[in-house]
Chain A
Amino acid sequence: MRQLKRLWQITLKDLLVMGKDRGSWIVLLLTPLAIIMVASFALGPAFNGELKSKLLAVNLDQGAIGKQLIDGLDTAEGLDVVEGTEAECQSLAVGDKKYKTSLVIPADFSSQILTGSDTSLQVYVDPTDNINRPFMLGMIDGAASRLSGMVTSVRVSVSEVIKFAPEAEPVTVASDAALAAANQMTGNPPVAVEISNAGTTADINMFDTQAPGYSVMFLLFGVMLGAEGLLEERDKGTLGRLLVAPVAKTSILGGKLVAQFLIALVQMTILFGVGHFVFGMHLGNSIPGLILMIFVTAFTATAFGILLASVVKTRRQATSLGTLIIILMSALGGSWWPLAIEPDFMQKLGHLTINAWALDGMNALIINGKTLTDILPQAGVLFAYGCICFLVGLRLFKFRNA
């Protein structure tokens, strides 16, 4: 009981010391908020599909079908068609403005189709563009397939018409039908593909994809400061003073860890709170789930802090090794870009980190609209992760300088 009281007094003292330390608040709150804002505005649209890709195109076709194809592509979601000359399309450049993909519709495009011959579209791509190319080619390919489908059905229907109306002129029938079909290009396709964000009803915004990742990263930087603070107490002798007072070692470390945990909780809550109330970040459908994730993440981060303080000899090492580990974990664990876009083995490797498990849980809640029970596995793994760090850290921590 007495030891618990002392533990709590140590916690209060640490909170007081922390509260007065402006430098720490800059690391804990201002830096992550600044970075979250920059990242959200810069990268959010890409991850949300809000960014429009530009397609340079030239229509040399004298007929109507080429025009319909261009209009069809222009109205497609996520795509803007910019008209250029044939030479510009071949060089993928208009003046100093560069394009990644261009489309050339040949001069006899409509007439070839209308006379029942096969034809082709010419697409130029920038070989270094790995990000946009699949999307652009998919869009063009889709449009071409739709056209091919129509042409086939027109051909079939023309032969049917001729069976029943032998006096009809096949070419006229075919061209009327083809034109009617091509007009459909700008309308909705008969079989539309509706894309939604799996599981959630709300539209995700740019903060939803960026804020959790950076929050977890700066949570880890926060506990690194805590680890430095603990080692500073050891260096300066204030820890020694407690050791020669009737305070149990468990109370000393316990008090400091409770303080660290509370600071981590406050930090996460403020980051998510500012994200939500100021920038309209979504908190998902399950607030209890999010609270659980924040608690478990703060706990595991705190445990990581004590482990860090135990494996290094000096404060400087805590800073350098801590920074290295946190940067690595953030890169591997999906704090900077979604793990889902990485190859399988990288995703597996990423799950060695605190970030990956924390973000799996948080993204499931915020982006995919999952509930408390859905994220129990992630929370469980994270908690076990924290417990292991704690046990090893407490065992290895040295109260006295060697």
Chain B
Amino acid sequence: MPLVTADNLVKKYDELTAVDGVSFTIDEGQIFGFLGPNGAGKSTTISMLSTYLPPSSGDAVIDGLSVTHQAEKVRNIIGVVPQDIALYPTLTALQNLKFYGKMYDMGGENLDKRCQELLELVELWDRRDSRVEQFSGGMKRRINMAAGLLHHPRFLLLDEPTVGVDPQSREHIFETIFKIRDSGTTILYTSHYMEEVETLCDYIAIMDKGKMVASGTLHELLSVLGEGGVIELKIAPPGCHAGLEEAIAGQNGVTSINHQDGKLLISSKNSAHSLPPVLKVLEDTGCTVDHLEIYTPNLEKLFIHLTGKELRE
């Protein structure tokens, strides 16, 4: 039973279509990842889901509530962690959290307890009385995240929460996200780092230029490239042997052959086992190898495969 259903969301700015007909569902308890380069439309999608921006067309339903018609009610059940640090720099960590808690009508002991709980979760309870402006990037990110969690949201939207943090803080943020998920919160996570969504997300949507270009579990997505591994070859002269591809396809373990940018992508169940026979075929046909790369499939490669460009420009 999906908690979130987005139906053909579109956001247009004058000339530019920032989000161009995006549809997806997010199951309860899932961490759903949006992966895409800067400008892909991830934040804009989050803005529409969080009722910050009205969609140009389309709608999304969160726990049975429409973001376009029942925005007020939606706001009570969602938590938003914006891409930028949205905190009052001169107020302390605790003052920031208390203020945001009060915006959800929390107060008294209830609020005090929740603030302590969250500050302990992000391991900043000791620094609760320090001004946010004195914190490191990673610490600010953690408070920024805590501020979206005060009211126990059912659905948490995290927009690139690890931008500009050191690896240690990132690890820490990941642990926190798993804890939040384990407490029953459904999460939408956006990033332009493929390792992040690979590690965190149960379900991944790849976005580019306002469109979802692929979606599925990590396994489903990578199977497009091959299961065990990929041997990437650039051979010279191009088309040096007419029967080359058929010859390779017949080798042990090879499952498929694709072309990309003049390169040959050979998917196989086990690259290590398939490589010697493939090289043998090349030698027999008199082709020379310009470039050889063996890798296990990953989202970076998938993104290049899907869009013809690198994820990180």
**Beta-carbon nearest neighbor of A235 in chain B:** B84
List chain B positions with a Cβ less than 8 A from chain A.
50-53, 72, 75-76, 78, 80, 82, 84-88, 90-91, 95, 99-100, 102-105, 147
Tell me if A244 and B51 are in contact (CB < 8 A): yes
Task: State the Cβ distance, A4 to closest chain B Cβ, in Å.
Answer: 12
Tell me if A237 and B75 are in contact (CB < 8 A): no
Q: Given A9-B99, A16-B95, A240-B52, are A246 and B75 neighbors across the interface (CB < 8 Å)?
A: yes
Tell me if B87 and A238 are in contact (CB < 8 A): yes
Contacting residue for B103 out of A9, A16, A237, A400, CB 8 A:
A9
Q: Given A9-B99, A17-B91, A240-B52, are A246 and B104 neighbors across the interface (CB < 8 Å)?
A: yes
A and B contact pairs by CB, cutoff 8 A, 24 listed: A5-B102, A5-B105, A13-B99, A20-B91, A21-B90, A236-B84, A236-B86, A237-B85, A238-B86, A238-B88, A240-B52, A240-B86, A241-B100, A241-B147, A242-B103, A243-B51, A243-B52, A244-B50, A244-B51, A245-B100, A245-B103, A246-B72, A246-B75, A400-B53
Tell me if A246 and B84 are in contact (CB < 8 A): no
Contacting residues, chain A, for B99 (C-beta < 8 A): 9, 13
Contacting residues, chain B, for A246 (C-beta < 8 A): 72, 75-76, 103-105
Tell me if A241 and B86 are in contact (CB < 8 A): yes
Q: Given A244-B52, A245-B75, are A13 and B88 neighbors across the interface (CB < 8 Å)?
A: yes
**Beta-carbon nearest neighbor of B76 in chain A:** A246
Contacting residue for A245 out of B85, B90, B104, CB 8 A:
B104
A5 to B106, CA, bound (A): 11
A2 to B99, CA, bound (A): 15
Instruction: Tell me if A247 is interfacial: C-beta within 8 Å of chain B.
Output: yes
Contacting residues, chain B, for A54 (C-beta < 8 A): none
Instruction: Tell me if A6 is interfacial: C-beta within 8 Å of chain B.
Output: yes
Tell me if A6 and B88 are in contact (CB < 8 A): no
A241 to B88, CA, bound (A): 11
Tell me if A9 and B82 are in contact (CB < 8 A): no
A21 to B90, CA, bound (A): 8
- Name the residue among A13, A244, A247, A400 with the largest chain B CB count within 10 angstroms: A244
A17 to B133, CA, bound (A): 13
With an 8 Å Cβ cutoff, the count of chain A residues facing the other chain is 21
**Beta-carbon nearest neighbor of A238 in chain B:** B86
A17 to B91, CA, bound (A): 7
Contacting residues, chain A, for B53 (C-beta < 8 A): 400
Contacting residues, chain A, for B105 (C-beta < 8 A): 2, 5-6, 246
Q: Mark A6-32, 1 if CB is under 8 A from B, else 0.
A: 100100010011001100000000000
Tell me if A237 and B50 are in contact (CB < 8 A): no
A237 to B53, CA, bound (A): 13
- Name the residue among B51, B78, B90 with the largest chain A CB count within 10 angstroms: B90
Known pairs A2-B105, A236-B84, A241-B80; list 19 more (Cβ under 8 Å). A6-B105, A13-B88, A16-B95, A17-B91, A20-B91, A237-B82, A237-B85, A238-B87, A240-B86, A243-B51, A244-B50, A244-B51, A244-B52, A244-B75, A244-B80, A245-B100, A246-B105, A400-B52, A400-B53
List chain A positions with a Cβ less than 8 A from chain B.
2, 5-6, 9, 13, 16-17, 20-21, 236-238, 240-247, 400
Contacting residues, chain A, for B87 (C-beta < 8 A): 238
A246 to B101, CA, bound (A): 11
**Beta-carbon nearest neighbor of B75 in chain A:** A246
Task: State the Cβ distance, A399 to closest chain B Cβ, in Å.
Answer: 9
A246 to B75, CA, bound (A): 5
**Beta-carbon nearest neighbor of A245 in chain B:** B103
- Name the residue among B82, B102, B104 with the largest chain A CB count within 10 angstroms: B102
A361 to B166, CA, bound (A): 60
Contacting residues, chain A, for B84 (C-beta < 8 A): 236-237
Task: State the Cβ distance, B287 to closest chain A Cβ, in Å.
Answer: 56
A243 to B50, CA, bound (A): 9
**Beta-carbon nearest neighbor of A248 in chain B:** B72
Contacting residues, chain A, for B76 (C-beta < 8 A): 246
Contacting residue for A6 out of B50, B72, B85, B103, CB 8 A:
B103
A14 to B82, CA, bound (A): 21
**Beta-carbon nearest neighbor of A5 in chain B:** B105
Task: State the Cβ distance, B150 to closest chain A Cβ, in Å.
Answer: 10
A5 to B103, CA, bound (A): 9
A331 to B75, CA, bound (A): 48
A62 to B148, CA, bound (A): 97
Task: State the Cβ distance, B53 to closest chain A Cβ, in Å.
Answer: 7
A21 to B95, CA, bound (A): 15
A246 to B88, CA, bound (A): 19
The 7 closest A-B pairs by CB, nearest first: A237-B86, A9-B102, A245-B103, A246-B75, A241-B86, A244-B50, A237-B84
Tell me if B88 and A244 are in contact (CB < 8 A): no
Task: State the Cβ distance, B48 to closest chain A Cβ, in Å.
Answer: 11
Contacting residues, chain A, for B80 (C-beta < 8 A): 241, 244
Contacting residues, chain B, for A13 (C-beta < 8 A): 88, 91, 99
**Beta-carbon nearest neighbor of A237 in chain B:** B86
**Beta-carbon nearest neighbor of A247 in chain B:** B103
A242 to B72, CA, bound (A): 12
Contacting residues, chain B, for A240 (C-beta < 8 A): 52, 82, 86
Contacting residues, chain A, for B75 (C-beta < 8 A): 244-246
A315 to B41, CA, bound (A): 26
Contacting residues, chain A, for B78 (C-beta < 8 A): 244
Task: State the Cβ distance, A236 to closest chain B Cβ, in Å.
Answer: 6
Task: State the Cβ distance, A253 to closest chain B Cβ, in Å.
Answer: 14
Contacting residues, chain B, for A242 (C-beta < 8 A): 103
A400 to B53, CA, bound (A): 9
Contacting residues, chain B, for A21 (C-beta < 8 A): 90
**Beta-carbon nearest neighbor of B103 in chain A:** A245
A241 to B105, CA, bound (A): 15
Task: State the Cβ distance, A84 to closest chain B Cβ, in Å.
Answer: 64
A36 to B100, CA, bound (A): 41
A400 to B11, CA, bound (A): 15
Tell me if A20 and B103 are in contact (CB < 8 A): no
Task: State the Cβ distance, B75 to closest chain A Cβ, in Å.
Answer: 4
Contacting residues, chain B, for A6 (C-beta < 8 A): 102-103, 105
Contacting residues, chain A, for B52 (C-beta < 8 A): 240, 243-244, 400
